[in-house]
Amino acid sequence: MVNPGIPRTLILEAGPRRARKNKAMPRTIRDQDALDYHSKGKPGKIEVVPTKPCFTQRDLSLAYSPGVAVPCLEIEKNPDDAYNYTSKGNLVAVISNGTAVLGLGSIGALAGKPVMEGKGVLFKRFADVDVFDIEVDTLDPEEIIRCVELIAPTFGGINLEDIKAPECFEIERRLQEKLDIPVFHDDQHGTAIISAAGMLNALEIVGKDIADVSVVFMGAGAATMGCAEHFLNVGVRRENIVMLDRAGVIYKGRDQHMNQWKERWASDTDARTLEDAMKGADVFMGLSVGNLLNKDHVRSMADSPIIFAMANPDPEITYYDAKDARSDVIMATGRSDYPNQVNNVLGFPFIFRGALDVRARAINTEMKLAASRALAKLAKQDVPDNVRKAYGGEDIRFGPDYIIPKPIDPRVLIWEAPAVARTAVETGVARIQISDWDEYRENLERIYGPSRNVVRRVVRKARQAEKKIIFPEGEERNIIRAAQVLLDDRIARPLLVGNPERIRAQAADLGLELEGAEFVNPREDAERIAKRLYELRARKGMLPHEALSQAKSPLINSVMRVYLDEADGIVCGLNRTYAETLGPSLGILRRKEGVKKVSGMYVIVFQDRTLFFADATVNIDPNAEDLAEIALLAGKTVRTYFDTEPRIAMLSFSTFGSTRHPFTEKVRKATEMARALDPTLSIEGEIQADAALNPEMVERSFPNSILKGNANVLVFPNLNSANIAYKLMERLAKAEIIGPIIMGVRKPVSVLNHWSTVDQIVNISAITAIAASRAPELRKEEAIRQQVVERSEKAD
């Protein structure tokens, strides 16, 4: 198994030798830190948590006797019902006998338990798969096979772990034949799947055909043979593979240190040593021991060599030595402090997630290939800012130093698990079908918390809208990166304003294509835009030459295109203030009928809930009438754009008259006005923030509150408090901030912050697209409302 993060205080040698203190590597974690981590609080790293309530007598009677008899009888009649009434469908057994533990060697079943618990942590953390780690205290393969066979009904899948070669090959093969659930030896296949993804991308970068490259495998254990087998499936030719063990090249006719599994990889070659094998080789795959390769080995390889030095914790050659020997080398290791980390956590959680979700009977070759290809394709996508931030803000993009996705990239789940699940369905090993793959991906998003589902729902609605969004700052790198995401995910059609050649050059520098994007040079079409602008603003003091000058401005040009229905909405503000963006937009697009003041709302996405803050953008000190209008606009926006029923809290430092002051009186009056204007909205106030958000407090102290402590829209009394609050949420609570959504303009206008990330630009663009899809309907509603008002006035 390639180590996802072992403390580097020890050199860990393969086999049953004793570990020795590592003098070559710096201490990055003390031994006592590791012991404290595992021992403090509840010992170990995992626990079993009930998924159903068990507090009352009724709960007990349902959880156990007599109620539990009912699902038991259903399962007896139909064994597949175990997936419906038990945790079987999300439960994996991690099985080990401790004979090949993380390079520690044969330390025994019990001593390997911390590793197996760690495996369970990674399953849960990255893919929400539940795990029982089972340490089997035997060296007899037959006993392991029989043990797993007997306990298999409990589980939806079996992950074999840290069982030494060659016994692991026979154990996996026999269990795959006997069981109708996935059996997966991660030491073999996990490393193979991730390294193959990296190799495919490396070969693309250097321009070599996979069918022509020669590959040297160093090591003849489970991981090496698993990689070699998988590489055949991705296109490497058998005659181009040379494998070595501690005795040298495995060649046809060799009779020492051989077995039936090594025989399969015996080559018809004159090479006998590592030096021989490395001459002219295109690819080196190391799964052996540290510091085995030297610079001369690297220099002897073919042009643009590819080296995967995956021994842990010391690679066969360091990144810096390899680069020093050959500047054209593409290098990957198992370490996180070098580029291109081959980390098994990119594989097993998501492979099992996809397999379990379709109740697969096996993880077949095609599913493994699908996982490799999904990872390879993901590495070519633009990397989100939150991933870059986790790695010190470095510029991560597809190229020699980035051929494999980063282990903490949350997109791996959404790319790899569906690829595996879909392939299981297509190859006939799935028990159930998935009819809506977009919905499946939305469900996967929930693994990272309910908040992700909010964003996913917005994106899905935006896709259905199929709107064109214009970006006046089209030459900005973050805008270009966001435009690529909009195109890739079919969220909206970006129209980038600026010099097309500069935009394309920026995109090429970022490794992006922008296929499908439109480009607008505001100077080339200025006269047409100026004519329409002058018609619109002639009675507002504008002169023809002023109209022409303004039409050449990217912002005015973009706003006019929205006005002329050549674009559906505008997103802008990276290098402008709010006033500089909103002023021209309002002057041209104007407020909605009946709206006296525009306002802004932020979406505040937490791990367990989503809130909406208004007005945190525009109105500095709104009066009661303004606050009422803000509440109504916010409520309608939440209901319309997010398919969420708004529960609006009008915030103050007083709750229901507990403090008398002009400030609290303003909020109380605003609440009454808002309720009168739209009785369909649930609006409460004046109310303190804790009472608005804490159901227990409300039940105890304010039982007559209509919100019951479940407010989701918070209307602040002034810009001071709202602006401070949303920024505190972002910095201290680590909430994801989307917005601001500008409310009250006839056509969608969204304003960015100077520091908006690519994710934030994408999210606000999606909301802008949704707003554009609803704009005609809302205008129609406004017109009808206005007619009703006019008729009422005439009747009076």
Q: Which residues are catalytic?
A: 64, 119
Strands (E), 583-666: 599-605, 610-614, 647-651
DSSP bridge partners of 249? 244
Is 515 in contact with 483 (CB distance < 8 Å)? no
SS3 content of the chain, % helix, strand, coil (to 5): 45, 15, 40
Q: For residue 537, what are its two tokens? A: 């603003």
313 prior amide bond cis, ω within 30 = yes
Q: For residue 399, what are its two tokens? A: 């190229």
Q: Report the SS3 class of residue 794.
A: helix
Q: What angle do CA 676, 682, 683 make, to 5 degrees?
A: 65
CA dist 272 → 219, 275, 739 (Å): 14, 8, 64
| Burial label, 253 (beta-carbon count in 10 A; 0-12, 13-18, 19+) | exposed
| Burial label, 698 (beta-carbon count in 10 A; 0-12, 13-18, 19+) | buried
Element (H, E) at 93: strand 91-96
CA dihedral 689→692→695→700, nearest 10 degrees, is 80
Which residue is associated with the tokens 């505008």?
A: 570
| Burial label, 665 (beta-carbon count in 10 A; 0-12, 13-18, 19+) | middle
Q: For residue 118, what are its two tokens? A: 């760690």
Q: Report the SS3 class of residue 244.
A: strand
